[in-house]
Structure 1
């Protein structure tokens, strides 16, 4: 019975309680105070042991004694032999029927068994309340003197993530579901710098260029908003809504882009990802500029960036799509350097990226942090029993890495 209660999942018992399962509410109450129900069970086990030993043991030994008296060689030790056989038999059946079989049954369906035996244990504890109270209080006192504290029964985030990963591996939930769950967990830990499109990949207009060139960029752009700067991204002036430009084109012959720019929402690169999402929701703005501690533009965040961080990459119309990770036939992985660093969780066993304590945001940053030098093709290192090798570089930027299991 104690195994059923100890092994029961509170979440499952809560479900049974909500479904009206008799005894589940009492089982939850017993789990909240383990010293009490363990004391009750121990009192019951002790009483049964005493009764069995004193009355059953002596009775069985007396019944066996005449049998051994029939044998001349055993007659002088008939009483001792009878008692020994009785003790061995009672011990065997007590362990088998009283411990092993009930516990194996309890482990097969702990919540169901716990709900059934909860009420008898509860009433037993009321009948023997003084003894149970004395034992549970004594247990608590000794634990306190030894400095032992009962751990919280609440499921931690790490435990939940491991449970989901195990459920995915065993086929309980689809792999895609596990990936989305992981992304949601990571989203809560991310900063603006993890969400943004880096300045190197941002499309922008140089206001110092001829107006014809500026207009060409706007008309050929696939985006609804474009960054406007002078000479370089460090000299940021604002953003242009393409629809405003097109509307101006219908009203005047040569609209001036510099007159149409507006100031966007600015967020620091250290801003929490959920905060950025809330700013988007409250301000009804789906675009922001990420700046560093010096006020320099580091990148931009759009609603598309946030969605990709929650559900994975999905290409826009006309956008070339290349998966961040390729699973090869030889059980190795080819991973893009600009892939988010948390993608490595799906490669390494029992590994979760600590986004709060890492400076890098991409796989390339992860590799640079470990090799600690200017990257070159062929550079490799070992991590979590995997060999990680740089296989492609584009202008000193890590483009592709190969990950394979380390050979024994």
Structure 2
């Protein structure tokens, strides 16, 4: 019976330790989101954070009371039960009680530190907001029950802080908190949903690298300067773009960028210049260059086409001003281009998503979906799914997440064309 009581006291201590770390580590913006979803615990958690001295004092009262009760109860009961065991040995009979008490304190302290402190705090740090929402009501009512002690401790803490000249830190708003604040404003109708999405894309743009925003080499049109001039001219006339990459035999041997308007003026002039003289030197960037750096270079050089290369100097893709605009405001169809919607919500609430949709699309569709562009090479939904299944995709391949399943439903030449996101019931 004594062990059951002590076990309960240790677990109770763990609850207070868990609550303290969860509430302190929680981000207000994320708690606001839970509040919007109707979770009453989030409202209580936010109320506790408004006056942190009170809830910290309440937690300390709880931990201190449990510590006292555990020590006294363990000393009286467990040590008392162990004393007769040590009295059996003649050499230590005189110190039997002291040895039993010391051993009891040592074991209780060890168990309290591991089960009552370290494990709960580690759990709290793993998902502070979700835990804070659950524990906040209990801590709130506990602080009410011991209000006089809580207020006395809070007053004493503030008094000592004033004497020491310690002031409350206003704290800086982190990027993540700012994102949540904008999303919260969108939910409240303060800003339009599309404005919120654009703000999100601006944040993501600053996290991206050149490889995340470029048009991949397989989708890049280019011209071979070594081919016959008649064929070269015919291909120019069939282009939709105002500028084109020119290479020698293959695209990895790129030699410059051709302005189509300048080419046509030169072609029909009485004394045309050699084709080589019309080529402009491109901006060449490594694939890990910051996306913001690309935009800055466009502004500085007033040249709006950059070639992206890998560590070996091989051609990886191009970045144009159009690519940058699309990464900030979403798909912008070029003249004569018809675009299907990237996201389509079906009648059964499942969501059909284009494989070419940017990876950040999943943030809006899947709860707690996070992206770290420093850790990934892909930039699309198809790239994410391909990375997860880690094989040539087949129809029916699935990525199972905590609250949904992503299924491959359309493939085009081994490329994931569409996926279906279905929420778990």
What is the TM-score normalised by the length of structure 1?
0.63
Distance 1:252 1:310 in 2: 44
- 1:171 has 2:189 as partner: yes
Match of 2:204 among 158, 183, 186: 186
Superposition pairs of residues 6-405 of structure 1, within 5 angstroms? 136=158, 138-139=160-161, 153-252=171-270, 256-405=274-423
Give the secondary structure class of the aligned counterpart of 1:280. Answer: helix
Return the offset for 1:257: 3.5
CA RMSD in angstroms comes to 3.5
Distance 1:344 1:322 in 2: 18
Q: Which range is displaced more, 290-299 or 331-340?
A: 331-340
Distance 1:166 1:231, change over 3 A: same
Unaligned 5+ segments in structure 1 are: 1-33, 36-98, 100-131
Return the offset for 1:171: 2.8
Per-residue deviation, residues 377-406 of structure 1 (Å, max 9, x unmatched)? 111121231111001111111111111112
Q: Which range is displaced more, 225-234 or 347-356?
A: 347-356
CA contact (8 A) 1:380 1:390 kept: yes
Unaligned 5+ segments in structure 2 are: 1-51, 54-143, 145-153
What is the TM-score normalised by the length of structure 2?
0.60
Per-residue deviation, residues 243-279 of structure 1 (Å, max 9, x unmatched)? 1101102314776534422221111111111111111
Per-residue deviation, residues 64-120 of structure 1 (Å, max 9, x unmatched)? xxxxxxxxxxxxxxxxxxxxxxxxxxxxxxxxxxx9xxxxxxxxxxxxxxxxxxxxx
CA contact (8 A) 1:245 1:255 kept: no
Return the offset for 1:165: 1.8
Distance 1:371 1:151 in 2: 46
Q: Which range is displaced more, 274-283 or 376-385?
A: 376-385
Return the offset for 1:349: 2.0
Residue in structure 1 matched with residue 40 of structure 2 by the alignment:
none
CA contact (8 A) 1:192 1:269 kept: yes
Q: After the TM superposition, which segments of 4 or more aligned residues of structure 1 sit over 3 Å from their partners?
A: 132-137, 139-142, 149-152, 252-259
Residue in structure 2 matched with residue 44 of structure 1 by the alignment:
none
CA contact (8 A) 1:387 1:403 kept: yes
Give the secondary structure class of the aligned counterpart of 2:374. Answer: helix
Return the offset for 1:141: 8.8
Give the secondary structure class of the aligned counterpart of 2:279. Answer: coil
Per-residue deviation, residues 24-66 of structure 1 (Å, max 9, x unmatched)? xxxxxxxxxx99xxxxxxxxxxxxxxxxxxxxxxxxxxxxxxx
Distance 2:275 2:397 in 1: 47
Per-residue deviation, residues 148-189 of structure 1 (Å, max 9, x unmatched)? x97652221111212222332343321101100100110111
CA contact (8 A) 2:367 2:403 kept: no
Distance 1:235 1:326 in 2: 41
Per-residue deviation, residues 356-390 of structure 1 (Å, max 9, x unmatched)? 22222111111012112211111112123111100
Give the secondary structure class of the aligned counterpart of 1:355. Answer: coil
Residue in structure 2 matched with residue 22 of structure 1 by the alignment:
none
Residue in structure 2 matched with residue 18 of structure 1 by the alignment:
none
Distance 2:393 2:155 in 1: 68
Distance 2:326 2:312 in 1: 28
CA contact (8 A) 1:211 1:256 kept: no
